[in-house]
């Protein structure tokens, strides 16, 4: 017997079984894969939100708003390339008017008959007795406002109050037992959370779109008093004034604006937080207007270079570029060059954080304002005033002549006429000529009025030359100029030769 060829029976059987299993494994693996994919798709589908119940329950409280305006005679103005020659009526007209103003060609003279323009928007009912919220820009200058309900009733609405700064309007229709929305809390919204909009884009009533919260506290140009909620919910002309719901079916925002280069939805939509909107509505309901807190400063962001020039470890806060005369800020001792880091106990990370914080504060309230002044933290107490109806603007002047070679800039003293025009009581020099050098690199322009360098007030042209000669090199220095649009800080750095 050849011992080498002897194998245990069990071993042979085991090997045969392994071969059978191996031969069957491809089919089993495919089966497992298909089962896994089916299971994972079911899990994924079940994890996505189902909006059907929310829409069924709350869409009846969303309304369509149509308005009629009378336009005397459209102005001739520059239209963006590719824009139509006349503002169209209907929902597209709403878009053009909101984003480009009342633009178009003048088809008639001063004596021409007024033209009617119609626009569409959305809104939602907040009380059973007929109070409706929408955007200010939806009903602005309207001669007639019609609110169409989900049951197809059309009711004439009156404007109880409208506030341009927050873009909120409160309407009233004559009806009872109306369906209402549930007001939520926008403060608890989280970035990444699902939200849903119901409105009338392009006149298509009760259209539903969904997305997520992309960001919070967004500041938009010329919209200083609203910390917008940014979403990727599809919003188009006609959605303006409609509600933004959370998954609990509560209204957390009012759809107000989109960012678009084409006029259509591009993934950037902005809603007014409902917390702020309800504060505005309460004031509109009581008195028809809104009173906001007022500090009385012109501010700007702190850049990396400016942060270095002020001795800060990183950019933060709101840099005071001007303190308005007889304002609450002036009375409290705020100065140009102060960096506001906290207001009423809340951090000011960017300059855009400050206006909404001040605006929602009650008029007459005494608040603590934490500032950074010349490298040291300080707390001031400010009694807030009421924000004037018209935002204060600072005019710019015309250039004037004298020479400073280190900065490669030509400046001159201000004349009495220039001081009166610019509302500058004393000090400052005006830039007439600027060539390549540190000043131009910092962003100084012809016509700027230089008020301060390195935290030293500039008295006149001679003083300006003295200060410039002693400026340290290779270090960011704060430079305060006044130009068309207001005062602004720049970061000046002189290279060592």
Report domain extents, the chain.
58-173, 182-287, 293-386, 403-492
pLDDT at 266: 86
pLDDT averaged over consecutive 10-residue blocks of the chain (497 residues)?
Answer: 40 43 56 65 65 94 90 47 41 50 46 68 95 95 92 93 93 95 94 95 92 92 85 93 96 92 84 95 90 90 87 90 89 93 93 91 93 91 87 33 65 77 82 82 87 87 82 86 83 78
Residues forming beta bridges with residue 457, ordered by sequence position: 452
Contact 380, 332 (CB under 8 A): yes
Tell me: the pLDDT tens digits for 156-202? Answer: 999 999 999 999 999 999 999 999 999 999 999 999 999 999 999 98
Nearest to 427 by CA among 400, 404, 461: 461
- The CA distance from 349 to 106, in Å, is 46
State the pLDDT at residue 93.
54
pLDDT of residue 113: 60
The full DSSP string for 395-437 is: --------EETTTTEEEEEPPHHHHHHHT--S--EEEEEE-TT
DSSP labels, 291-309: --EE--EEEEE--HHHHHH
SS3 64: strand
In this structure, whether the domain defined by 58-173 belongs to CATH 1.20.1340.10 is answered with: no
Closest CA to 173 of 185, 189, 157, 162: 157
CATH-assigned architecture of domain 293-386: Roll (2.30)
Answer yes or no: same fold for 58-173 and 293-386.
no
Nearest in space to 131 (alpha carbons), one of 56, 69, 183: 183
Structure tokens at 438: 């540190």
pLDDT attached to residue 447: 84
Active site members: 137, 167, 240
Query: Which pLDDT value is given to residue 467?
Result: 85
Distance (Å) of CA 261 to CA 80, 264, 266, 267: 11, 8, 8, 11
Contact 98, 237 (CB under 8 A): yes
What is residue 16's predicted lDDT score, i.e. its pLDDT? 46
Phi, psi of 29 (to 5 degrees): -60, -45
pLDDT digits (tens, 9 = 90+) for 443-480: 888 888 998 888 888 888 878 888 887 888 888 888 89
Superfamily of domain 403-492: PDZ domain (2.30.42.10)
d(CA 327, CA 376): 24
CATH (residue range 182-287): 2.40.10.10
Nearest to 334 by CA among 376, 378, 290, 271: 378
Label the pairing between strands 142-148 and 207-220. Answer: unpaired
């Amino acid at each position: 017997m050849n011992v080498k060829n002897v194998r245990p029976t069990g071993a042979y059987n085991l090997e045969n079984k392994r071969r059978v299993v191996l031969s069957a494994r491809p089919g089993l693996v495919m089966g497992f894969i298909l089962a896994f994919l089916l299971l994972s798709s079911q899990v994924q589908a079940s994890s996505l939100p189902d909006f059907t119940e929310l829409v069924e329950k709350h869409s009846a409280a969303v309304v369509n708003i149509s308005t009629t305006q009378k336009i005397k005679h459209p102005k001739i103005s520059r239209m963006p390339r590719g824009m139509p020659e006349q503002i169209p009526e209907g929902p597209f007209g709403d878009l053009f008017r909101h984003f480009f103003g009342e633009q178009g060609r003048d088809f008639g003279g001063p004596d021409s008959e007024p033209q009617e323009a119609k626009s569409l928007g959305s809104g939602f009912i907040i009380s059973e007795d007929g109070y409706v919220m929408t955007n200010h820009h939806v009903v602005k200058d309207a001669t007639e406002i019609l609110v169409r309900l989900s049951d197809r009733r059309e009711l004439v609405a009156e404007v109880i109050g409208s506030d341009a700064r927050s873009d909120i309007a409160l309407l009233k229709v004559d009806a009872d037992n109306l369906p209402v929305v549930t007001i939520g809390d926008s403060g608890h919204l989280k970035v990444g959370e699902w939200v849903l909009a119901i409105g009338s884009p392009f006149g298509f009533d009760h259209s539903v779109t969904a997305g997520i919260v992309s960001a919070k506290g967004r500041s938009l140009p010329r919209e200083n008093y609203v910390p917008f909620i940014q979403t990727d919910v599809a919003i188009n002309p006609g959605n303006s004034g409609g509600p933004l719901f959370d998954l609990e079916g509560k209204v957390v925002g009012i759809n107000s604006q989109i960012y678009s280069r084409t006029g259509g939805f591009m993934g950037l939509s902005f809603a007014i937080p409902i917390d702020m909107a309800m504060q505005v509505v309460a004031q509109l309901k009581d008195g028809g207007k809104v009173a906001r807190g007022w500090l009385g400063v012109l501010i700007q962001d702190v850049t990396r270079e400016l942060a270095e020039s002020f001795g800060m470890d990183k950019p933060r806060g709101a840099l005071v570029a001007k303190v308005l005369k007889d304002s609450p800020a002036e009375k409290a001792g705020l100065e140009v060059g102060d960096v506001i880091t906290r207001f009423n106990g809340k951090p000011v990370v960017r300059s855009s954080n400050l206006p909404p914080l001040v605006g929602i504060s009650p008029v007459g309230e005494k608040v603590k304002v934490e500032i950074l002044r010349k490298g040291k933290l300080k707390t001031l107490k400010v009694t807030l005033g009421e924000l004037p109806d018209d935002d204060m603007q600072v005019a710019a002047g015309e250039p004037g002549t004298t020479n400073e070679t280190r900065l490669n800039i030509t400046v001159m003293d201000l004349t009495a006429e220039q001081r009166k025009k610019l509302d500058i009581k004393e000090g400052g020099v005006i830039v007439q000529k600027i060539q390549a050098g540190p000043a131009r690199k910092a962003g100084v322009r012809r016509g700027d009025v230089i008020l301060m360098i390195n935290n030293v007030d500039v008295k006149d042209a001679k003083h300006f030359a003295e200060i410039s000669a002693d400026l340290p090199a290779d270090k960011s220095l704060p430079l305060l100029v006044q130009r068309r649009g207001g005062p602004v800080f720049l970061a000046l750095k002189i290279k060592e030769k």
